[in-house]
A and B are shown apart, each in its own frame.
Chain A
Amino acid sequence: MTFGAATREATRARWAARASLILKPLQSALDAFPPSRWLMRRLDRRALKGRLLAIAPPYAWLLIFFLAPFAIVLKISFAEPDVAMPPYTEVFALIEDAGSFFLSIKLNFSNYLLLIEDDLYLRAYLNSLKIAAISTALALMVGFPIAYAMARAPRRWRGALVMMMILPFWTSFLIRVYAWIGILKNEGLLNGFLQWLGVIGEPLTILNTDFAVYIGIVYSYLPFMVLPLYAALERMDESLLEAASDLGCRPVKAFWVITVPLAAPGIIAGSFLVFIPVVGEVVIPDLLGGSDTLMIGRLLWAEFFSNHDWPVASAVAMILLLILVIPIVLFQRHQAARQEAAR
């Protein structure tokens, strides 16, 4: 493969296109938020001092905080549990034999076999994907009108509206989820209100059901959906809808053939930003869900902290990562191919 610079350039462009698919809406969401603009300007000035200096931190960050831990977890997933500190056997060992040193690698696949043999794990994976998919759809349905209204609001309000969307992050995530217990429990605010209205006689059981989990997830992850959607919709030229109408297209249809396709980058970015973390969500199902709300994050937690079976927990994490990474890579490859075909 020595096609030289041209191929390399093309590859680089392809990767840039893939990255921008997700990063661009995020970038614009940040741009709309004044303090981040100030920060970016500061960073830009820095970047002028040297390209390397600017490029190095993200790579260093990825290496230290993603690749290295990933390698460690991968290694542990091939170990055996052990009553020791740390609680697993070494995979790599240096063995001395007759003055020579050998590197012994002992791989244990039984952790992965267990995931296949015990259908608890399969059900947990599938249920997590299902909950994540439904939550993403719900967040999209709730988030789209909000983002649309924000993007069409008078310009001077928009900064404040974005700010309000981000404001909940100023409070601890845990506290906000705890607050939902107070709202949803049998003698909580919601049931109290409904009983006061006379809509229901007996309190509804909402807490500790899947329904409560959906409420908690949609509430917690809504900003991640709204901000990229807002960024995409805010950029849209309103005269496009007028042009569609002028050409004989009714407003409802124009929404589907003009607004939605143009908001697609935001829809995709927002959906990924909600779907991916929700698959591995632990806190919300633990606090709001019932004991039968099976999610892989909870299972992982239990393996790790209750069973002290680090190798199985690591294997669970590795498979979870694969489940999430493969569709993203496939999708981005498809998207990049489509972009190139359009050229």
Chain B
Amino acid sequence: MASGPTTRRTFEPWDDPKSKPILRVSSVSKSYGSVTAVDQLSLDIHRGEFFALLGPSGCGKTTLLRMLAGFERPDTGRIELDGVDMTAVPPYRRPVNMMFQSYALFPHMSVEGNIAFGLKQEGLPAREIKTRVAEALALVQLPDYGRRKPHQLSGGQRQRVALARSLVKRPKMLLLDEPLAALDRKLREETQFELMTIQEQVGITFVIVTHDQDEAMTMASRIAVMDRGRIAQVAPPTEIYEQPNSRYVADFIGSVNLFEGNYVGGDGAPTMRCAEAGCDLSLAQPLLVAPGHRLWVAIRPEKLEISREPPPPGTLNCLSGVVWDIGYLGDFSTYRVKLDSGKIVSAAEANRMRLTERTISWEDRVYLRWVPQAAVALLS
């Protein structure tokens, strides 16, 4: 270890066929009356993962989490934790703990009392409870707050106590229901990194529910994007962003320009005929579909190159339009360009220089282009 180039350790147990998942959800469904909250959902989560369930409200992510905790029984399907069937096990017998969105701290108990609560249920000796509570308080950096009552703490401190309380029993899996939703933006960003550090320290599998894509992208080893009770895509953050498998995922994570068209086969140069773009768009690689098949090309705003100079003739994937709107975000400027077809396309450009005078202004005719590898072709 002393010499040689350090290699970045990769953590990808989901690609390892020998790795046995710690959590296995098999075709689980749950309905409330006529509303299907979770629909035939299957999912594997591996030991040590920081797994995010991401989706808009009402997509079933919280229902799924509550089924993992045992608060809801699935109508059909099976939930297995570490090889043991948990489907019918009540919450108080599951080796899983949950951190609640409201924190759910017991208001009549001190911080210590709250953290010790779970250990007392196990019937541990008082000495051990004391040391483990102290350890948990040290872990969340609140060593001197044991005697306080929850109402004497700030929102951020309460969040840490809730985390300590759910970690102190050393569960096989920690479930976090929107753990940062109640914090303000600045604190939320700090806490994201802290949660990651703590997760590495304790080595417990974390499953987090969030509707905040930045949160999921920052913290998670893998993200499951959910849509109406189903999983749209499960992948690491970079893949979710760069290789979305559907328009839904591409559109939910970040912003994206979508062009609709029909596939034009071709051995050497696969392209898409696109009325919105006003020209054929060339694709990075051929697709296994028949010519004429409907498809979409997704391209992120920051991957578009915007310029006032017309590109040399024959350039691939070049659109032209008029600047419709400019959004200045400090680090980025976003240009909304109206194509001749009437379609609005967003292009983002990093503000590398201090902006004193805009090179591109409203009503300017601009040219947008991208290399085929920057775009993704989607079939759904």
Binding site for B on A (CB under 8 A): 237, 239-240, 242-251, 258, 261-262, 264, 342
Contacts and interface: CB of A to CB of B under 8 A. Distances in A.
B118 A242 contact: no
12 contacts: A239-B100, A239-B104, A240-B104, A242-B98, A246-B91, A246-B98, A247-B92, A247-B169, A248-B118, A248-B122, A248-B169, A258-B106
Contacts of A262: 107-108
Contacts of B102: 237, 239
Contact of A250 (B92, B96, B117): B92
A239 B62 CA distance: 14
Contacts of B108: 261-262, 264
Contacts of B149: 342
Given A242-B91, A244-B106, 7 more contacts: A237-B102, A245-B91, A246-B69, A246-B71, A247-B121, A248-B121, A249-B121
Contacts of B93: 248
A249 B90 CA distance: 11
Contacts of A245: 70-71, 90-92
Nearest to A264: B108
Contact of A247 (B71, B97, B107): B97
B104 A237 contact: yes
B300 interface: no
- The 6 A-B pairs at the shortest CB distance, nearest first, are namely A247-B118, A248-B121, A243-B104, A239-B104, A245-B91, A261-B108
Nearest to A247: B118
A251 B165 CA distance: 19
B178 to A, nearest CB: 12
Residue from A239, A250, A258 with most neighbouring chain B CB atoms (10 Å): A239
Interface string B109-131: 00000000110011000000000
Contacts of A264: 108
Dominant SS at the A interface? helix
A249 B117 contact: yes
B103 to A, nearest CB: 9
B106 A243 contact: yes
Interface of B: 69-71, 90-93, 96-98, 100, 102, 104-108, 117-118, 121-122, 149, 165-166, 169
A262 B105 CA distance: 12
Contacts of A239: 100, 102, 104
A246 B106 contact: no
A237 B107 CA distance: 10
A335 to B, nearest CB: 14
Contacts of A250: 92
Given A258-B106, A262-B107, A247 B117 contact: yes
B165 to A, nearest CB: 7
Nearest to A261: B108
B92 A246 contact: yes
A250 B105 CA distance: 17
Given A237-B102, A239-B102, A342-B149, A246 B107 contact: no
A246 B96 CA distance: 8
A284 B165 CA distance: 52
Contacts of B70: 245-246
Residue from A243, A247, A262 with most neighbouring chain B CB atoms (10 Å): A247
Contacts of B69: 242, 246
B90 A247 contact: no
A262 to B, nearest CB: 6
B106 to A, nearest CB: 6
Contacts of A251: 92
A261 B106 CA distance: 10
A247 B70 CA distance: 12
Nearest to B168: A247
A245 B118 CA distance: 9
Contacts of B97: 246-247
Contacts of B106: 240, 243-244, 258
B92 A249 contact: yes
A243 B100 contact: yes
Contacts of B100: 239, 242-243
A92 to B, nearest CB: 52
B63 to A, nearest CB: 14
Contacts of A243: 98, 100, 104-106
Contacts of B92: 245-251
A256 B314 CA distance: 78
Contacts of A246: 69-71, 91-92, 96-98, 166
A244 B113 CA distance: 12
Contacts of B117: 244, 247, 249
A262 B165 CA distance: 19
A262 B69 CA distance: 24
Nearest to B117: A247
A246 B69 CA distance: 7
Contacts of B118: 247-248
A211 to B, nearest CB: 37
Contacts of B107: 240, 262
Nearest to A243: B104
B196 to A, nearest CB: 23
A262 B108 CA distance: 7
A251 to B, nearest CB: 8
A170 to B, nearest CB: 37
Contact of B165 (A240, A247, A258, A342): A247
B7 to A, nearest CB: 40
A258 B98 CA distance: 18
Nearest to B96: A246
Residue from A242, A246, A264 with most neighbouring chain B CB atoms (10 Å): A246
B219 to A, nearest CB: 22
Nearest to B91: A245
A261 B149 CA distance: 15
A56 B98 CA distance: 51
Contacts of B165: 247
A261 B108 CA distance: 7
A261 B117 CA distance: 15
B253 to A, nearest CB: 30
Residue from B69, B71, B96, B121 with most neighbouring chain A CB atoms (10 Å): B121
Nearest to B122: A248
A251 B149 CA distance: 24
A262 B100 CA distance: 19
A264 B108 CA distance: 10
B77 to A, nearest CB: 21
B73 to A, nearest CB: 14
